Copies of this chain bind each other. A is one copy, B any other.
Amino acid sequence: MRDTNRPNLEDVAALAGVSTASISRCINNPKKVAEPTRLRIQKAIDSLGYMPHFGGRALAINRTNTVGAIIPSMENAVFASGLQAFQETLNDSKVTLLVGSSNYNASQEYDQIRSLLSQGADGLLLIGKDRPKKTLDFLEKHSVPHVLAWCFGKNISSPVVGFDNQKAAQKIADHVIALGHRKLAIIAGLREGNDRANERIIGIQDAQKTNPNVELVAIEECKYSFEEASAALDRILALNKNPTAIICSSDVLAVGAMLRAKELGLSVPNDISITGFDDINLAQVVTPSLTTVRVPQQEMGRKAAEVLLDLINPNLGKTAAQSVELMTTIINRGTLVSLQ
């Protein structure tokens, strides 16, 4: 039923003494309306405080200028600055961002996808490349424009903007090995439904395999919290295999392990080296500061937004949206020691 409180096109039209069509044109395509009329209309709009009704417009043009992003967790600083950059880039094109979080859970992600889409999202940003067939089918069936981030891969059918987790992990592991470490352990996120965690483990295993005299004494998976990482370190130490370096698949895990090591009276890196992944704020703050892998978050967010916008706008002569691979860098700080 009519909300008499909120002015609509007709009200503006009446006040300005023109038809609703002109108002609409004035808003969406100002050149199509003559100067004096435009001024009159603008005055009417201002004086009524008119704002176009979102639903009406969405219905008419079948587009919302809204995109959704579903990240595994909002609490995790890992995604924050990437998302911020994503949003800023969208805003430049007058597109609004809807955010959902999946809690690292595929079925929650599916629900969020449906929810954001039924909220009218024109496109989606998703994290990672592995998801259940059900989700994939859904995306395909509804031909949802989407881009994947925080991952990369050659034979993915969706556009991807990110980095190769496996290669990045292999690189840091190679680096650790090059410094003389021969007994490694891993603390990683739960692989289940998390391709990034999974590939990071595989990357480290790759590095180990190409160096036969390197031993991988433990692989511990846990949730991304200090407490869980702390417990994971305990489990590793309980094995009595004496790894000289622990490669963690996230800074949060690395810091959790460091905190625990400190509690146990172990010196990092003298007694044990620890490396992280992501290079979030935390990494610079711990003592010693964390040697880690820097992920180009901002660039990823920005580029992902560009690709998604391309996907949504049947664009004018521009090149089709393409996947882009970004590179990670190893940031050497204080938690990794050379054994040579």
Residues of chain A touching chain B, judged by Cβ–Cβ distance below 8 Å, are 1, 3, 5-6, 49, 51-60, 62, 64, 66, 73-75, 77, 80-81, 83-84, 87, 96-101, 114-120, 138, 141-143, 226, 255, 259, 262, 281-282, 284-287
Q: Contacts A74-B84, A138-B49 known; A287 to B286 CB distance under 8 Å?
A: yes
CA distance A66 to B96 in the complex (A): 13
CA distance A59 to B114 in the complex (A): 20
- When distances are taken between beta carbons in the complex, the residues of chain B under 8 Å from A287 are 262, 286-287
Closest Cβ of chain B to A12, distance in Å, is: 14
17 contacts across the A-B interface (CB closer than 8 A): A6-B142, A51-B114, A51-B118, A55-B55, A55-B56, A55-B60, A64-B119, A66-B119, A74-B80, A74-B81, A74-B83, A75-B84, A77-B281, A97-B98, A285-B285, A286-B286, A286-B287
Closest Cβ of chain B to A76, distance in Å, is: 8
- When distances are taken between beta carbons in the complex, the residues of chain B under 8 Å from A259 are 284-285
Q: Is the CB of B226 within 8 A of A284?
A: yes
Q: Is the CB of B62 within 8 A of A3?
A: yes
Q: Is the CB of B118 within 8 A of A62?
A: no
Q: Which residue of B lies closest to A99 (CB)?
A: B99
Q: Is the CB of A119 within 8 A of B101?
A: no
Q: Is the CB of B96 within 8 A of A142?
A: no
Contacts A49-B141, A97-B98, A286-B286 aside, 20 further interface pairs with beta carbons under 8 A come to A49-B138, A49-B142, A51-B117, A54-B120, A55-B57, A55-B64, A56-B59, A64-B119, A74-B87, A77-B281, A87-B100, A96-B98, A96-B100, A96-B115, A97-B99, A99-B99, A226-B284, A262-B287, A281-B282, A285-B286
